[in-house]
Amino acid sequence: MKAVCVREHGGLDALELIEREAPEPGPGEVRIGIHYAALNHLDLWVRKGVPGHRFPLPLVLGSDGSGEVLECGPGVEGLAPGTRVVCFPATSCGHCEACLSGRDQFCRQYKILGEARDGVMAEEVVLPRANVHPIPESLSLEMAAAFPLTFLTAWTMLVRRARLQAGETVLIQAAGSGVSSAGIQIAKLLGARVLATTGGSAKAARARALGADEVIDYHCEDFVRRVKELSSGKGVEVVFDHVGKDTFEGSLRCLAWGGRYVTCGATTGSKVDLHLNALFFKSLSLLGSTMGSKGDLCRILDLVVAGKLKPVIGEVLKGLDQVPRGHRLLEERKVFGKVLIEIKGDVHG
């Protein structure tokens, strides 16, 4: 079978299309034929490398995937060959205090697919039964591959960490990204007022269509000044950010007294300046967030199936050999929403 692997960190040439033996499921495991896999900024970090962090190379990329069950290992119940499924994007031990209390992202053995263990950018994968969830016929395999990592990340940021409330105002940075397009929808579902930033009129229109109440084009507007205008000088209760260095200082200035800044990444750099007097004088909270629980992902899946949340797909590229092109699209910010790689196509064709 074919898979996309990184052996050494580097540029697009570090992405290797390899041939390897098809995996065999062990006890409690399921072998899946992957039809669609989604790209995330995490894939770029794994490929390029992150200073101070060691990835277990060589590594098959990909956190999000969907397809059909090919074979079940001993002890697997509730699934049969041919079942359409979505892959949950991280594994955990399943029996520690964190896992048993529904906080499996804090398990010491928590591993994100394509980051700490082999991922789903392959024709076939083997995963624990807990990471394989059946989906109804009403949900396409494209949509199923497009929501897990980004929607779980955004849900944890807004619901669990920032505890966004109805009637509050949230500033969502970089609305064109997968996680921010999810964040806009979740914030509206919670009853919040959404201010979003993005670059260009086309992306601004897409953000409004997702439900953003106001959109700030950072190509031609100072987002800090505009946020203050839109909030009558008060600022926002929550800032949702994964941009990092380029937006951090301005994001803190946008916060109202007692505001919460929540982040899941730093695509423009992680080293920022922080003046503590601003933090304690305004009683601000800085919140980090990574992924979330399988229980929350089940809830998100129900909301996606019900049409209350909708993954945004920006581009579908056919074939594993298109992964480098997908990385380039993400790096150049040329898409609004998710980039998918079609490996086999939908079960129903």
Question: Which tens digits make up the pLDDT trace of 267-278?
Answer: 777 888 888 888
Strands (E), the chain: 2-6, 15-19, 29-39, 59-60, 64-72, 84-87, 90-91, 111-112, 124-128, 132-134, 169-172, 193-198, 214-217, 236-241, 255-263, 285-288, 313-318, 338-342
The answer to whether domain 2-147+311-342 has CATH 3.90.180.10 is: yes
pLDDT of residue 158: 98
Whole-model pTM: value is: 0.92
Q: Where in the chain is the domain with CATH 3.90.180.10?
A: 2-147+311-342
Give the model's pLDDT for residue 278.
84
What superfamily in CATH does domain 151-288 come from?
NAD(P)-binding Rossmann-like Domain (3.40.50.720)
Closest CA to 188 of 171, 205, 207, 211: 211
Query: Which neighbouring-strand residues pair with 125?
Result: 32
The dihedral of CA 38, 41, 336, 306: what is its sign? positive
In this prediction, residue 348 carries a pLDDT of 53
Residues 6+ apart with CB under 8 A from 167: 191, 192, 193
Q: pLDDT value at position 99?
A: 92
pLDDT at 116: 94
Q: Which residue is it, tokens 């898409």?
A: 335
Q: How far apart are CA 338 and CA 142, in angstroms?
A: 10
Q: Extract the tokens encoding 99.
A: 């896992």
Alpha carbons 145 and 87: distance in angstroms, whole number:
8
Tokens standing for residue 333? 């910010």
Q: Tokens 């594993």 sit at which residue?
A: 320
Which of 150, 144, 190 lies closest to 167 in space, CA to CA? Answer: 190
Tell me which residues of the chain have a pLDDT lower than 70. 345-349
Residue 168 is predicted with a pLDDT of 98
Residue 347 is predicted with a pLDDT of 53
Ranges for all domains in the chain classified under CATH 3.40.50.720: 151-288
Q: Residue 321: what pLDDT?
A: 96
Instruction: Say whether the peptide bond before residue 89 is cis (omega within 30 degrees of 0).
Output: no
User: What whole-number distance in Å separates Cα of residue 72 and Cα of residue 229?
Assistant: 57
Three-state DSSP state, 91 = strand
